[in-house]
């Protein structure tokens, strides 16, 4: 036998008792796992890594389970778009493409629908995986007669899309939007600075309605899990006190400032001749404390550092 010919003899490693796995052996093991998942209808989780169009123009999502490419037709991605006179946002495919673009990099659950052992190609459905998870977590009851997900329970969720004022989360097969005001008790000008697609976050279930796997609605927030530190920090805040802060948002002339002492503040005027902008660092004088809203009211005396 020539020295470069392969045999079934295990690779001899520096640690003679250990076995070194080759890329091929790891790939074979993963493929075996995928075949078992197909037979047993076990839900797998992969990363949404791409969006493509087939030769006939159909949109597909490309999900990677370890190193294996999995194709999910857009019709199996569970993307529900309202289409009526009040919600006419243009061509359906373009809207679906936009939503998938925002989801790139997120985790996707899927059930395998078909395999080709020769090419090791996989076709799957996110929709079927989500419906199965809804049945398990929202409709099936435990010995006490309760489902796994219920009102006021804290659960883990996946961030699947993020915009300036809202994030989209998936909670065990159900997607829900969480507005910026429900993400934190702190003023938050841009949710993208704190949340990224692919994050796992803790949320509190505020309301859940589950009539069937196809009809499950969930509302949740993040801020009640994190807690409100502003109330305690408000004790550090004194009327006529001057504090540094950062402009988080500006809406209809109202400037929302997060003070460095951990207090939310609203400025009703600015003494600096320059126009204040988001993320500017400012000097803020407190003129009134609204204890009911846990907000300090006052005046921006000057812009310390302007964001360009």
Q: What is the pLDDT of residues 186-195, one digit of tens each?
A: 988 899 989 9
The first and second tokens of residue 191, run together, are 């949710």
CB 83, CB 92: distance < 8 Å? yes
Q: Which of 214, 122, 144, 230 is nearest to 174 (CA)?
A: 214
The pLDDT score that the predictor gives to residue 15 is 63
Q: Which of 38, 102, 40 is nearest to 65 (CA)?
A: 38
Q: Which of 244, 271, 240 is nearest to 257 (CA)?
A: 244
Q: Summarize pLDDT for 217-274 with one digit per residue, the tens.
A: 999 999 999 888 888 899 999 999 999 999 999 988 899 999 999 999 999 899 999 9
Asked whether residue 280 carries a pLDDT value surpassing 70, the answer given is yes
Asked whether residue 96 carries a pLDDT value surpassing 60, the answer given is yes
Q: 217: number of CA atoms within 13 Å, CB side?
A: 3
Query: How would residue 130 be classed by pLDDT, with cut points 50, 70 and 90?
Result: very high
For 97-127, what is the HEC assignment? HHHHHHHCCCEEEEEEEEEECCCCEEEEEHH
Q: Which residue has the higher pLDDT, 84 or 70?
A: 70
Asked whether residue 37 carries a pLDDT value surpassing 50, the answer given is yes
- What is the end-to-end Cα distance of the chain in Å, rounded? 70
Asked whether residue 66 carries a pLDDT value surpassing 80, the answer given is yes
CB 266, CB 272: distance < 8 Å? no
The pLDDT score that the predictor gives to residue 112 is 97
Q: Summarize pLDDT for 183-232 with one digit per residue, the tens.
A: 999 988 899 989 999 999 999 999 999 999 999 999 999 999 988 888 88
Q: What is the mean pLDDT of the chain?
A: 89
Asked whether residue 85 carries a pLDDT value surpassing 50, the answer given is no
The pLDDT score that the predictor gives to residue 87 is 46
CA distance 145 to 196: 36
């Amino acid at each position: 036998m020539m020295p470069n010919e392969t045999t079934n003899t295990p690779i001899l490693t520096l640690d003679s008792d250990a076995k070194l796995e080759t890329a091929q052996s790891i790939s074979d093991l993963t493929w075996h796992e995928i075949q078992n998942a197909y037979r047993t209808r076990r839900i797998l989780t992969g990363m949404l890594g791409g969006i493509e169009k087939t030769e006939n123009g159909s949109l597909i999502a490309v999900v990677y389970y370890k190193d294996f490419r999995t194709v999910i037709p857009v019709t199996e991605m569970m993307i529900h778009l309202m289409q009526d006179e009040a919600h006419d946002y243009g061509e359906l495919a373009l809207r679906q493409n936009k939503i998938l673009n925002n989801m790139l990099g997120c985790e996707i659950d899927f059930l395998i629908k078909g395999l080709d052992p020769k090419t090791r190609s996989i076709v799957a459905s996110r929709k079927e995986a989500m419906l199965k998870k809804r049945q398990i977590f929202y409709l099936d009851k435990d010995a006490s007669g309760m489902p796994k997900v219920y009102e006021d329970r804290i659960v883990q969720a996946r961030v699947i899309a993020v915009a300036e004022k809202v994030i989209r989360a998936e909670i065990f097969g159900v997607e829900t939007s969480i507005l910026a005001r429900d993400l934190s008790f702190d003023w938050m000008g841009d949710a993208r600075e704190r949340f990224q697609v692919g994050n796992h976050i803790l949320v509190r279930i505020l309301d859940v309605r589950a009539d069937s796997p196809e009809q499950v609605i969930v509302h949740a927030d993040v801020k009640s899990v994190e807690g409100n530190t502003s109330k305690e920090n408000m004790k550090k805040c004194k009327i006529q006190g001057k504090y540094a802060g950062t402009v988080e948002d500006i809406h209809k002339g109202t400037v929302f400032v997060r003070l460095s002492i951990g207090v939310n503040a609203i400025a009703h005027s600015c003494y600096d001749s320059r126009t204040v902008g988001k993320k500017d660092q400012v000097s803020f004088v407190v003129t009134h404390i609204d204890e009911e809203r846990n907000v300090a009211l006052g005046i921006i005396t000057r812009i310390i550092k302007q964001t360009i």
